Amino acid sequence: MRTGVSPPVPGTPSPWHPGRRPRPRAQQPPGWPESAGLREIRKRLGARPPLVTPAEVAGLRRRLAGVASGRGVVIQMGDCAETFALPTPADSARTVALARTAASLVEERLGVRVVSIGRIAGQFSKPRTSPTEEVDGVQVPSFRGDLVNASAPDELSRRPEPRRLLWGYEHAARTLSLLRRAGADGGPGPGSEVGPASFPARAVAPGPVLWTSHEALILDYEEPLTRWDAAGEAWVLCSTHFPWVGERTRHVDGAHVRFLAEVANAVGCKVGPGMTPEEIVRLAGILDPDRRPGRLALIARMGEGRVGAVLPGLVEAVRGAGHPVSWLCDPMHGNTVRASSGHKTRHMSAVLAEITGFVAAVRSGGGRPGGLHLESTAESVTECVGGRSGILESQVPDAYYTACDPRLNADQALEAVAYFADALVNSSGV
């Protein structure tokens, strides 16, 4: 049992926090209206069945322990922001097929097992740099993702609505069920040795399994979905297998890091170019105090121009402090630019350059590159420029559907995955 945590009655699906020590104020607060019944909504969320089970969460940790010791590679892919409008069953089948193709590409090249993780079934909220944004010349409150407000650019739609927490839960449950069905039909689905209560337990399907992940940003969603696992004597976040803390909320003293420190899931932490060796060692000490393989994945998102200068020192510092982390490469978030149309975009050349720089940097810091984290979709979008399919900057507006950041389409994503695998081979194996 973790120190300072008093266990509730075993099996009680109680909201996580009441009666426990207060947490610091969360950054990126959603700004719920005063009288919106948040407490009641948290209570209702706390009474819902878990979306993923502690047994599944433990299964992913075991797989990630394999990655940390060089017996596997993570491929994490999906939307920047999921919406409540999608996916359809056909979308889910395509998502699963893309994950499966990406995994087999890597497995063929490297001969190691791929851990397929989706940014899916909960990736509904976005941190924002500014509380307002300009849309078509008008200043409106920023869109914070479907879990908080609506995307239509008017004051009323952008008003934070706590009932969205319940809708998010329902939507995640539906997406999970579609994914599991797509997996059961021959492709990989989320889950592991044991299925959640509402699904029949089944053996692991041959080939990769698509686990779920999202940024644990809205603590009013995450805290009530945390359950006491009496068998493991630990709190487990049951909204997703693999939560991560974002670049804007990863402060060592912040509420998000404190929250993830207290759940037993494998957790991720984004690492941007402003990180220092001292700070990352403190963060790793909080998130991985027991130095357990499979517990912590550090997701570097430096930008192609910074990765070579900043990352080696961070890798060395974490290794020196004895944390057996997995280093993942997010070559998207440090390489966002504006197309001449005004759309946010990313160039494949920068994505691939960051991958090259990442592999070299992790190796030179004495670490092992553990995987790739992409914003991508199985749909034929033109949100990012370049790659073998040759999307031009002038074509970016043609099929631009993302609810937030620009995503690689399937061809571009597979190209990046193959490039990553080749970079590992060329830099002397996994």
Using the minimum distance from each CB to ligand PEP, give the nearer residue, 38 or 252.
252
Question: Which of Co ion, ligand PEP, none has residue 246 at its interface (CB below 5 to 8 Å by kind)?
Answer: ligand PEP
Of 45, 80, 218, 339, the one binding Co ion by CB under 5 A: 80
d(CA 154, CA 394): 29
Using the minimum distance from each CB to Co ion, give the nearer residue, 192 or 335.
335
Give the strand pairing for 72-78 and 369-375. parallel
> Would you give the distance in Å from CA 284 to the centre of its chain?
18
Tokens in use for 168? 């998010």
d(CA 423, CA 111): 14
Question: Which of Co ion, ligand PEP, none has residue 270 at its interface (CB below 5 to 8 Å by kind)?
Answer: ligand PEP
Residues 74-113, mask of contacts with ligand PEP (x by CB under 6 A): ------x---------------------------------
- Considering only residues 332-371, where is the footprint of ligand PEP by CB under 6 A? 333
d(CA 122, CA 79): 11
Question: Which of ligand PEP, Co ion, none has residue 161 at its interface (CB below 5 to 8 Å by kind)?
Answer: none
Cβ-contact 345, 396 below 8 angstroms = yes
Question: Which of ligand PEP, Co ion, none has residue 301 at its interface (CB below 5 to 8 Å by kind)?
Answer: ligand PEP
Tokens in use for 396? 């970016």
Using the minimum distance from each CB to ligand PEP, give the nearer residue, 237 or 300.
300
Contact between 217 and Co ion by CB under 5 A: the answer reads no
Q: How many residues bind Co ion (CB under 5 A)?
A: 2
Using the minimum distance from each CB to ligand PEP, give the nearer residue, 227 or 301.
301
CB of residue 375 to ligand PEP, shortest distance in Å: 7
Omega of the bond leading into 87 within 30 degrees of 0 (cis)? yes
Question: Which of Co ion, ligand PEP, none has residue 256 at its interface (CB below 5 to 8 Å by kind)?
Answer: none
Length of the chain: 430
Using the minimum distance from each CB to ligand PEP, give the nearer residue, 180 or 270.
270
Give the contacts of 333 (CB within 8 A, at least 6 positions apart).
247, 270, 272, 301, 405
* Residue that is written with structure tokens 């060796």 in the block: 277
d(CA 137, CA 246): 29
Write the single-letter amino acid at 402. T
CB of residue 408 to Co ion, shortest distance in Å: 12
Of 146, 215, 405, 415, the one binding Co ion by CB under 5 A: 405
d(CA 220, CA 283): 23
Tokens in use for 141? 């409150």
- Considering only residues 226-255, where is the footprint of ligand PEP by CB under 6 A? 246-248
Residue 165 main-chain phi, psi, to 5 deg: -65, -40
CB of residue 405 to ligand PEP, shortest distance in Å: 6
Cβ-contact 149, 158 below 8 angstroms = yes
Residue nearest to ligand PEP (CB): 246
Question: Which of Co ion, ligand PEP, none has residue 387 at its interface (CB below 5 to 8 Å by kind)?
Answer: none
Question: Which of Co ion, ligand PEP, none has residue 214 at its interface (CB below 5 to 8 Å by kind)?
Answer: none
Which residue from 378, 14, 77 is spatially nearest to 227, judged by alpha carbons? Answer: 14
Using the minimum distance from each CB to ligand PEP, give the nearer residue, 146 or 247.
247
- Considering only residues 149-208, where is the footprint of ligand PEP by CB under 6 A? none
Cβ-contact 316, 366 below 8 angstroms = yes
Q: Measure Cα distances from 254 to 274, 283, 287 in Å.
A: 17, 11, 12
CB of residue 350 to ligand PEP, shortest distance in Å: 15
Of 61, 63, 301, 323, the one binding ligand PEP by CB under 6 A: 301
Contact between 408 and Co ion by CB under 5 A: the answer reads no
Q: How many residues bind ligand PEP (CB under 6 A)?
A: 10
Cβ-contact 160, 147 below 8 angstroms = no
Contact between 270 and ligand PEP by CB under 6 A: the answer reads yes
d(CA 356, CA 291): 28
What is the DSSP code string of 305-330? TTHHHHHHHHHHHHHHTT--PEEEE-
CB of residue 330 to Co ion, shortest distance in Å: 9
Using the minimum distance from each CB to ligand PEP, give the nearer residue, 53 or 149.
149
Contacts to Co ion by CB under 5 A: 80, 405
Contacts to ligand PEP by CB under 6 A: 80, 127, 215, 246-248, 270, 301, 333, 405
